[in-house]
């Protein structure tokens, strides 16, 4: 191992400055606990001077059963013309009771004079005095030098002077920020190297992703001697985001030989990424390096037959190292080896009803030609293979349904669904209302099934997507409905295709319930 890199998470502050990212104090607390369990040494809780929600978070975080993480409170330096002890922001910072505080100050002369409207000298005073005051109050101080790289380009000696002020004030770590995200990796590497050589205090990096270079810039900084990396889980953050700590961890630890988190925690990297996207209510990005659903997914027939001989043929590492898994996708691009692999994974025997892998491939090609898309609907694919090979026993059958939508001039529309299903010899008719026709149908089916299968209660819909397959027929076009469902153990996708959106939705819904029940009741032969 080359050395320890301190990770600093700012998902709850910089991350929430990203569009569509909102976290309540309770959400923040859940994320903080997760990061603590994972072993991130610094977790920034927020800016207590800026909003009451963050104050509430710090009240919750004061009961300290955090084992591995230090929760840090964030603030700007004191205001121009004030002493730190008289500054409201600094008071709020101390009031949180956190042992570690993060201060940001200006290192770009343009920001000091034009944005803050202070003299260069006053800016240096604010940095030096605030750091010194907080150190005097017994706090560990991380100093974030905002716009440091832009500052270096504009006025290098002044940018350096601001860092010196923080060092003289007694900062424990000085973090160089590429706040606007416009710097190149070679520039960053050179500047970080110079700063490391000139200061005694440990140096960190805080990179934004405006040029898609946050990760490259962070890794280059570490190679130049930075010992702290600030970032957010999944790269959430202002504009194009911060560096994604998930990728930072994967690269530093697995590719570059640094140590960031305990070895056994690495296997929870995928879970950590998905947990945070769940709490933030942002769909997980499939292409996310290391942890995305597609990070180790193979679709082309040539690739699939190769990885069955040796996975290293098309994988840069073993997905298990980060808790991810290899997936083989089945689509009209697939060959027999994809089906054979998939069947093994699903523990299905091929050959039933004369359906070997060859015949299943042609069936899939036929259906994909009609608009189905099985690489995005593995639940429906599993049912399909089981059905054609005679290994599926339907847990329930549809007898009929009726969906009505009523709308008048004054009110919102009202939807109702009636459904008749049979389970073995028994029939069940139920009715339910819903916000829309599909919702009403879902509610009615759920109600009917719960009587026979109470475990339906723990399953929920995660996502519902409708796509027009061929728009040339206007409202008469075929649509594809894709549903994602989950229970406490699994997420699965199902699909339906029809000219009638309700019919397509029904197919996807029915597949989703059948998939769940076939797992739970042993209904599959």
What residues line the site for Zn ion (CB under 5 A)? 14
Between 247 and 343, CB nearer to Zn ion: 247
**Least Cβ distance, residue 48 to Zn ion (angstroms):** 18
Nearest residue to Zn ion on Cβ basis: 14
Between 7 and 481, CB nearer to Zn ion: 7
**Least Cβ distance, residue 1 to Zn ion (angstroms):** 29
**Least Cβ distance, residue 403 to Zn ion (angstroms):** 49
**Least Cβ distance, residue 180 to Zn ion (angstroms):** 10
**Least Cβ distance, residue 230 to Zn ion (angstroms):** 8
Between 14 and 167, CB nearer to Zn ion: 14
Between 177 and 364, CB nearer to Zn ion: 177
Could you give the 3-state DSSP secondary structure of residue 415?
strand
Q: How many residues does the chain have?
A: 525
Between 74 and 158, CB nearer to Zn ion: 74
For residues 254 and 317, the answer to whether their CB atoms sit within 8 Å is: yes
Among candidate residues 320, 331, 332, 328, the one with its CA nearest the CA of residue 304: 328
First-to-last C-alpha distance (Å) of the chain: 51
Triad 491, 494, 499: Cα angle to 5°: 155
Parallel/antiparallel/unpaired status of strands 426-434 and 100-106:
unpaired
Our CA dihedral for 22, 27, 30, 31, rounded to 10 degrees, sits at 10
**Least Cβ distance, residue 32 to Zn ion (angstroms):** 19
**Least Cβ distance, residue 292 to Zn ion (angstroms):** 24
Between 246 and 415, CB nearer to Zn ion: 246
Between 146 and 167, CB nearer to Zn ion: 146
Among candidate residues 205, 206, 208, 132, the one with its CA nearest the CA of residue 172: 132
Query: Hey, CA dihedral for 169, 175, 176, 182, is it positive or negative?
Result: negative
Distances (CA, A) of 113 to 25, 75, 107: 35, 20, 11
Q: Where are the beta strands (DSSP E) in 107-185?
A: 140-146, 173-178
Kindly give, in sequence order, each residue whose CB lies less than 8 Å from that of residue 90, ignoring residues fewer than 6 positions away.
Answer: 49, 75, 78, 84, 130, 133, 134
Between 177 and 502, CB nearer to Zn ion: 177
Distance CA 138, CA 170 (A): 11
Contacts 24+ apart (CB under 8 A), 76-79: 76/49, 76/103, 76/104, 76/105, 77/103, 77/104, 77/105, 77/126, 77/127, 77/130, 77/131, 78/126, 78/129, 78/130, 78/133, 79/126
Distance CA 134, CA 78 (A): 11
**Least Cβ distance, residue 387 to Zn ion (angstroms):** 52
**Least Cβ distance, residue 282 to Zn ion (angstroms):** 18
Provide the CA 120 distance to its chain's centre, in angstroms. 40
Between 236 and 513, CB nearer to Zn ion: 236
**Least Cβ distance, residue 446 to Zn ion (angstroms):** 44
380 backbone φψ class: left, alpha, beta (φ>0; ψ -120 to 50)? alpha
**Least Cβ distance, residue 501 to Zn ion (angstroms):** 43
Between 14 and 484, CB nearer to Zn ion: 14
Between 177 and 510, CB nearer to Zn ion: 177
Between 75 and 337, CB nearer to Zn ion: 75
Q: Where are the beta strands (DSSP E) in 295-412?
A: 297-298, 327-328, 397-406
Helix, strand, coil share of the chain (percent; to 5):
45, 20, 35
**Least Cβ distance, residue 14 to Zn ion (angstroms):** 4
């Amino acid at each position: 191992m080359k050395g320890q890199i301190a990770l600093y998470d700012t998902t709850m502050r910089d991350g929430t400055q990203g569009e569509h990212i909102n976290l309540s104090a309770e959400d923040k607390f859940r994320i903080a606990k997760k990061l603590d369990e994972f072993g991130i040494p610094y977790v920034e809780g927020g800016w207590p001077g800026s909003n009451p929600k963050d104050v509430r978070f710090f009240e919750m975080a004061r009961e300290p059963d955090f084992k591995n993480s230090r929760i840090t409170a964030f603030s700007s330096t004191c205001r121009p013309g004030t002493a730190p002890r008289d500054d409201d922001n600094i008071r709020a910072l101390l009031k949180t009771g956190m042992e570690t505080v993060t201060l940001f100050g200006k290192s770009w002369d343009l920001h000091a004079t034009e944005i803050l409207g202070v003299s260069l000298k006053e800016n240096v005073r604010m940095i030096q005095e605030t750091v010194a005051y907080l150190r005097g109050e017994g706090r560990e101080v991380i100093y974030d030098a905002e716009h440091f790289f832009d500052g270096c380009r504009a006025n290098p000696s002044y940018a350096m002077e601001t860092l010196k002020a923080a060092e003289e004030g007694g900062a424990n770590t000085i973090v160089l920020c590429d706040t606007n995200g416009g710097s190149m990796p070679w520039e960053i590497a050179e500047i970080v190297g110079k700063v490391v050589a000139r200061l005694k205090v440990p140096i960190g990096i805080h990179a934004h992703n405006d040029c898609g270079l946050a990760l490259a810039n962070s890794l280059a900084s570490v190679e130049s001697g930075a010992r702290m990396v600030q970032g957010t889980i999944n790269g959430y953050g202002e504009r194009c985001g911060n560096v994604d700590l998930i990728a930072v961890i994967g690269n530093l630890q697995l590719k570059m030989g640094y140590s960031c988190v305990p070895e056994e925690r690495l296997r929870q990297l995928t879970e950590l990424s998905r947990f945070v996207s769940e709490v933030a209510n942002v769909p997980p990005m499939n292409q996310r390096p290391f942890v995305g659903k597609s990070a180790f997914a193979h679709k082309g027939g040539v690739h699939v037959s190769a990885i069955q001989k040796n996975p290293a043929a098309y994988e840069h590492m073993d997905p298990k190292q980060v808790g991810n898994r290899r997936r083989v996708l089945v689509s009209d691009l697939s060959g027999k080896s994809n089906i054979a692999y998939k069947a093994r994974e699903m523990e299905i025997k091929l050959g039933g009803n004369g359906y070997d892998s060859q015949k299943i491939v042609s069936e899939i090609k036929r259906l994909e030609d009609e608009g189905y898309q099985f690489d995005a609907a593995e639940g429906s694919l599993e049912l399909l293979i089981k059905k054609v090979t005679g290994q599926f026993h339907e847990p329930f059958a549809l007898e009929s349904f009726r969906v009505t939508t009523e709308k008048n001039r004054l009110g919102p529309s009202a939807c109702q669904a009636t459904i008749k299903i049979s389970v073995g010899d028994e029939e069940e008719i139920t009715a339910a209302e819903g916000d829309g026709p599909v919702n009403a149908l879902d509610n009615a089916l759920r109600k009917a099934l719960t009587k026979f299968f109470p475990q339906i209660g723990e399953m929920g819909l995660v996502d519902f997507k409708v796509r027009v397959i061929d728009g040339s027929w206007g409202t008469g076009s075929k649509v594809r409905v894709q549903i994602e469902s989950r229970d406490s153990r699994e997420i699965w996708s199902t699909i339906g295709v029809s000219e009638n959106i309700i019919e397509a939705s029904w197919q996807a819904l029915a597949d989703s319930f059948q998939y769940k029940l076939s797992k739970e009741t042993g209904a599959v032969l």
